[in-house]
Amino acid sequence: MSARFRARGLCTCVIIAMTLAAGASLASPEVVAPSAPTQMQSAEQSMRDGKFQEAAAAFERIVEADPTNGVAQVRLGRALLLAGEVDRALEVQKQAAANESVRSRALFNIACCFAAKKDSDRAFTALEEARVAGFTRIDIIRADPFLTALGEKARMDAIAAAIEKSFDKPEYHQLDFWVGTWDVYNRQGQRVGSNIIEKVERGFVISERWTNTIGRTGRSINFYNPVSAKMKQVWVDDTGTVLEMEGVFERGALRFAGDATGLASPSSSHRTILTPLAGGHVRQFIQSGSGATLTTTFDAIYVPSGEKLSKGDLAEFETPGDADR
């Protein structure tokens, strides 16, 4: 056979092989299983649509594929409860409660299962265990149809009060002295601006809204970070400057330190000291600069809005401890 015919034969074989491969691909397309996030989204949509049996089946498939998925397990139990399979739901939630990452949620749902069985004592025992484990959603507790159907308002109120009390720790109140509506004055007794300091988010956040006398503005949020065991302040003003600081209350004042960055300025170091004063006033002392070189950029007294500034107020600028700043 000539080289020409051998080449033609080789090409024909290649074409046939490619055709067969393409046909096989068309006849048997590869099936790609949905990802876990996609499965969760689909299952949650079934829950929202009230298709609880369908949702339970979807969550069960996720748990079978990944028994460590505590969220899916809790949601499986909830779907079963809503579908009327209370005993099975209870068993699933008991298994989920062994997973520390979802323990409080599983215990809450165990309470709901007992409530569905009209067993008030076990329901509130489980609810208290959920609270101790970290379940703090009072709104969800009060809105749950199984729990509210028990009609146990006094016991519900006791759980809610216990949750509220668990939030009331001294470290979350370190900056409460700053809360108020203030007129702010410099050392010369001149009003330099106003500041509105409010507690929001159930007291976990202190919000600041600053306006100076020429209309420049800025805002900050302040909160206690339980991980760092420090107060945190994040400030942003109308020039785009962002200041992030951390601080602790010591030597009679809340002392922040951190760095600022701006749209048109290099990063800089900052210190802010907020000191509660006699008579319900507050002093704010700010230094900023580069590296170890800091200069005073703000030193002011906060007086409740509408209250007249007195010579005694100005004397508060000379409080002991300035050299220690």
Instruction: Give the per-residue pLDDT at 28.
Output: 41
Helix intervals (H) in the chain: 3-27, 36-48, 52-65, 70-82, 86-96, 103-116, 120-133, 138-143, 145-148, 153-167, 311-315
Instruction: Give the per-residue pLDDT at 247.
Output: 96
Question: CA 287, CA 272: separation in Å to the nearest integer?
Answer: 7
Under DSSP, the state recorded for 136 is -
Question: CA 190, CA 213: separation in Å to the nearest integer?
Answer: 10
**Short-list 284, 316, 319, CA closest to 210:** 284
**How much is the pTM?**
0.62
Answer positive or negative: Cα dihedral of 179, 184, 187, 189.
Answer: negative
Q: Which residues contact 147 (CB under 8 A, 6 or more apart)?
A: 111, 112, 115, 123, 127, 141, 156
Tokens 């876990």: give the residue.
36
Instruction: Give the per-residue pLDDT at 36.
Output: 66
Q: What is the DSSP string of 48-82?
A: HTT-HHHHHHHHHHHHHH-TT-HHHHHHHHHHHHH
**Short-list 261, 259, 287, CA closest to 272:** 287
Helix (H, G, I), strand (E, B) or coil at 290: strand
Q: How does pLDDT run along the chain (325 residues), one tens digit per residue?
A: 444 434 444 444 444 444 434 443 334 444 445 666 889 999 999 999 999 999 999 999 999 999 999 999 999 999 999 999 999 999 999 999 999 999 999 999 999 999 999 999 999 999 999 999 999 999 999 999 999 999 999 999 999 999 988 878 899 999 999 999 999 999 899 999 999 999 999 889 999 999 999 999 999 999 999 999 999 999 999 999 999 999 999 999 999 999 999 876 678 899 999 999 988 999 999 999 886 788 999 999 999 998 888 877 777 776 544 434 4
Q: What does the block give as tokens for 183?
A: 């007129």
Helix (H, G, I), strand (E, B) or coil at 251: coil
- Domain limits, the chain: 36-167, 172-324
Instruction: Give the per-residue pLDDT at 202.
Output: 84
Q: Do domains 36-167 and 172-324 have the same CATH topology?
A: no
Question: CA 288, CA 269: separation in Å to the nearest integer?
Answer: 5
Cβ atoms 92, 76 nearer than 8 A: yes
Instruction: Give the per-residue pLDDT at 158.
Output: 95
Fold of 36-167: 1.25.40
Count other C-beta atoms under 10 Å from residue 37's C-beta: 8
**What does the pLDDT look like over 7-48, one tens digit per residue?**
444 444 444 444 434 443 334 444 445 666 889 999 999 999
Question: CA 146, CA 113: separation in Å to the nearest integer?
Answer: 8
Q: CATH classification of 172-324 is 2.40.128.20, yes or no?
A: yes
Instruction: Give the per-residue pLDDT at 315.
Output: 76
Phi, psi (rounded to 5 degrees) for 83: -85, -5
Cβ atoms 234, 247 nearer than 8 A: no
Q: Which residues contact 222 (CB under 8 A, 6 or more apart)?
A: 175, 205, 206, 207, 208, 231, 232, 233
